[in-house]
Structure 1
Amino acid sequence: RNGGFVFGGYSLDCADLLKILGPVRARELYTLTTDAVDLMRQRIARYGIDCDATHAGVILANWFDEPARLETQRRLMRDSFGVDWEPVDAATLAAQLKTRRYHGGLFERNAFHFHPLKYVVGVAAAVAAAGGQIYEHSPVLRLRPQGSGFLAETADGAIEARQVVMAGGGYARNVYPKVERAVLPIATYVMATEPLGTRLADAIDTAAAIYDTRFAFDYYRPLPDTRILWGGRISVLNREPQAIARLLRGDLLKVYPQLRDVRIEHAWGGLMSYARHKMPQIGRSADGVWYAVGFGGHGMAPTTVSGELLAAAISGERPVPEAFASFGLTPTFGTLGLAAAQLTYATMQARDALAARRRAPS
């Protein structure tokens, strides 16, 4: 359920981050994510992690025939966050992406893409090699205070811990409701085509990863074995693979109709954790439990940020930046929150469709 994009930012739009925090604190939080991109590159090299890393950047493709959208975004990123997203004119982009759907784009050169599970396994191997112990298949069933720390109980035993970090995703386990009730479990969908060989260049003639300017955007990337990994849509429904393949195949063909006869070999979905404010929630509860949740929609760099921040805070090196306190454990209101999220998504989809129709050539 992770597309493997590694680039700066959070799920919350950078313009909204700027509005909420102001220029200094917004840039501080954004810079943490670009530093994390560099750190992940360094780790891949240092530990020899074989994760299909492709250092070819990411393209934001403009779905709408409105150049001002891209220019506004480019200026915002340059002036407020100190990053230079390079303009890609419509003709150049059309040579790379063989579709009539896009109207130019922006290129983020420092970004890359990779196989996220292979990366995580590589990081885990590095932890183990350094003496860390990782226990799989031992979910915590209960967590309760004990002395100056906690007792974490599993089915086969208990662990006395001075520090506890809650860093799960969208799968609630009713272990620590204060954190688990602060995120919405939102489903997302991904599929992979069969290997396309030379046909890949008939649709995608770039090694960069791609996403577009809609609220309900597609995100996709060419894989080393010439498949296309394609993701998109969010929903409160965790659908079966066959249904996911049908939905995403339709999205693929809207952009690349020349691939109509291509087989979809894999399709899957999973639950992400979203906070109502669309920012990760990183900090410590009053009872001493640390937490890092709410990374849905933009996870690789921000989760790396959270690991670095919590490690520094737990070791006493430095506290979690105060700006994250603006995005705390806000209640999500359970079923009502899920219904509101689905309604918001449907509304934004309709808005995107209306904007595209207004700009469509007659």
Structure 2
Amino acid sequence: MAERLGQHTYYRASSSPDSYPSLQGERECAVCIIGAGFAGLGTAMSLAERGERDVVVLEAEEVGHGASGRNGGFVFGGFSLGERALQRSAGTAARQLYGDTLAAVGLIRERIRRHDIACEARESGVILANWFNDDRILFEQQRFMAEHMGVQWQHLGRDELSDRLRTRRYKGGLFEPGGFHFHPLKYAQGLARTLARSGVTIHERSRVTSIRRREGGWLVVTAQGTVAARELVVCCGGYLASLHRRLRAAILPIATYVMATEPLGERLASSIRTEAAVYDTRFAFDYYRALPDTRLLWGGRISILHRSPRAVARLLYGDMLKVYPQLKGVRVEHAWSGLMSYARHKMPQVGRLPDGLWYGMGFGGHGVAPTTLAGELLAGALTGDGGRLRQYARWGLLWTGGPAGLAAAQATYWYYGLRDLLRR
């Protein structure tokens, strides 16, 4: 399996990042953004596209260090909150809200094209594979998406799916042609490069130690500098730590695990004969995709526990063999984890506190399109159009319960995992 794991994530090992200096001394700006992940960079991009380039982005590590540079690379519609639950929560507005994420997918495509971002984007769609021996799951989901969300997912019969995915585990699937997948860290790096060319300032290795409200705006303090900003946006997700007590109390930092195999060459076709990204119908689902160099990138599980790369590789290798036993003996070259931020309601948390601080977080589990959407919502509100942002106010900053909330989240995951097992 894993003889010797790389020291970095596959994404880090396969990219060539630019370098941005740490913040030194004092400076002023119109908008300061904390966090250079998809939400922070997306907010800066949306501001720049509206003509506001007097922006400073502060990152504690390097661009894309957190979940934005560690995820599965799926780009498709929806939120972590499932579509039926979204309809129960939002009623007739659910279709428009889901449409917001589809528009975000389109915006990501457009930015890749317009700025020539080399991020290995593969326009191959996404497959939802049915883990259970019940065809009604697929037909009901297909009908619901068409009737209530206005999208057409294509049904794949059992034989048709088995031609693409060489496993007995799946019982048919649904194909979402509007989705695609990419190298998420290269995309984040491409956004940062574009922003820097446009006049936005980015500082890496500039961990914010405190933020203070003051007359006319905010003072943001790092170890070696300060930023005086008229507006402040916090986009730190699972890596918020103790920076802001109110925001920290509203998220659960949850880990997910990912690995990448060695290049499989012709052996890849023994298991996967599609360029589409794949996930399945379980609550505790696997997600995976073939990479351009014939590696298999495989992710899954959520946990409150930090695990070593070797432990992650062992768990995910076992999950992979449950689906594709013919890959036994394949070497895992990279394995890693990353922290996502979850809200109790499983919707993005995007808004403004009474003291004027803006925030975007809570994207865990389904974050590429929603982070881009959050950037649009925040930039619109910062430049005078807060109407769309107010539509998301119903999902606020609910307290997650601290350590007890983390334990409850882990117990919930185990419960639904057991239910999936019994259902099968």
TM-score normalised by the chain length of structure 2: 0.83
1:294 aligns with 2:362: yes
Q: Which residue of 2 aligns with 1:326?
A: 394
Counterpart amino acid of residue 236 in structure 1: I
**Does 1:349 pair with 2:417?**
yes
In structure 2, what is the equivalent of residue 359 of structure 1? Answer: none
- Partner deviation per Cα, 1:307-343 (whole Å, 9 max, x = no partner): 0110010010343433311110111111000000000
For 1:314 and 1:62, the matched residues in 2 are separated by 43
What's the CA shift for 1:135? 0.9
CA contact (8 A) 1:281 1:292 kept: yes
CA contact (8 A) 1:189 1:270 kept: yes
Higher relative contact order (Cα pairs below 8 Å, separated by 6+ residues): 2
Aligned to 1:30: 98
Deviation at 1:59, TM superposition (A): 0.1
Give the structure 2 partner of residue 201 of structure 1.
269
Q: What residue is the counterpart of 1:317 in the other structure? A: 385
Q: Which residue number corresponds to residue 20 of structure 1?
A: 89
In 1, Cα distance between equivalents of 2:339 and 2:203 = 23
CA distance in 2, matches of 1:319, 1:19: 22
Superimposed CA distance per residue, residues 62-86 of structure 1 (whole angstroms, 9 cap, x where no aligned partner): 0001111111111111111100011
For 1:127 and 1:270, locate their aligned partners in 2 and report how far apart those are by CA, in whole Å.
Answer: 25
User: Within 1, Cα distance between the matches of 2:402 and 2:177?
Assistant: 40
> What residue is the counterpart of 1:273 in the other structure?
341
TM-fit CA distance, 1:189: 0.1
**Among residues 185, 190, 198, which one is paired with 1:130 in the alignment?**
198
1:9 paired residue number: 78
1:215 matched to 2:289: no
Asked whether the 8 Å contact 1:192–1:267 carries over to 2, the reply is: yes
Between the two proteins, the alignment pairs up a number of residues equal to 355
Please give the alpha-carbon distance, in whole angstroms, between the structure 2 residues aligned to 1:225 and 1:341. Answer: 36
Give the conservation status (yes or no) of the 8 Å contact 1:190–1:244: yes
Q: Does 1:248 align with 2:316?
A: yes
Residue aligned with 1:162, SS: strand
Contact 2:155 2:173 in 1 (8 A): yes
* CA distance in structure 1 between the partners assigned to 2:242 and 2:215 by the alignment: 22
Residue 181 of structure 1: aligned partner: 249
After the TM superposition, which segments of 4 or more aligned residues of structure 1 sit over 2 Å from their partners?
317-323
CA gap 1:151/1:320 in 2 versus in 1, 3 angstroms: farther
Question: 1:238 touches 1:271 (CA, 8 Å); kept in 2?
Answer: no
Letter in 2 for 1:34: L
Amino acid aligned to 1:339: A
Structure 2 distance, partners of 1:251, 1:3, is 16
Q: CA deviation at 1:173?
A: 3.0
**1:231 is the counterpart of 2:305:** no
Three-state SS of the structure 2 residue aligned to 1:192 is: strand
Find out whether 1:151 has 2:151 as its counterpart: no
Residue 206 of structure 2 corresponds to residue 168 of structure 1: no
Distance 1:6 1:177 in 2: 31
> What is the CA deviation profile of residues 158-214 of structure 1, one whole-angstrom value per residue up to 9, with x for unaligned ones?
111111111102123322111121100101000000000011010000000000000
Distance 1:128 1:158 in 2: 20
Q: 2:159 aligns with which of 61, 80, 91?
A: 91
Which amino acid counterpart does residue 305 of structure 1 have in structure 2?
L
Q: Distance in 2 between matches of 1:196 and 1:149?
A: 54
Contact map agreement 2:378 2:389 (CA 8 A) in 1 = no
Asked if structure 2 preserves the Cα contact closer than 8 Å seen for 1:141 and 1:173, the reply is no
CA distance in 2: counterparts of 1:181 and 1:122, whole angstroms: 32
Structure 2's unaligned 5+ residue stretches are 1-69
Distance 1:55 1:324 in 2: 30
8 Å CA contact retained: 1:189, 1:268: yes
1-structure distance, mates of 2:294, 2:396: 42
Tell me the secondary structure at the aligned position of residue 84 of structure 1: coil
Q: Are 1:82 and 2:150 counterparts? A: yes
Q: Secondary structure at the match of 1:326?
A: coil
> Counterparts of 1:173 and 1:253 in 2: how far apart (Å)?
36
Give the match for residue 360 of structure 1. none
Q: Give the drift of 1:157.
A: 1.5
Deviations 1:216-274 (A, max 9, x none): 00000000000000000000001000000000000000000000011111100011100
Distance 2:170 2:96 in 1: 32
- Answer whether contact 1:283 1:320 (CA < 8 A) is retained: no
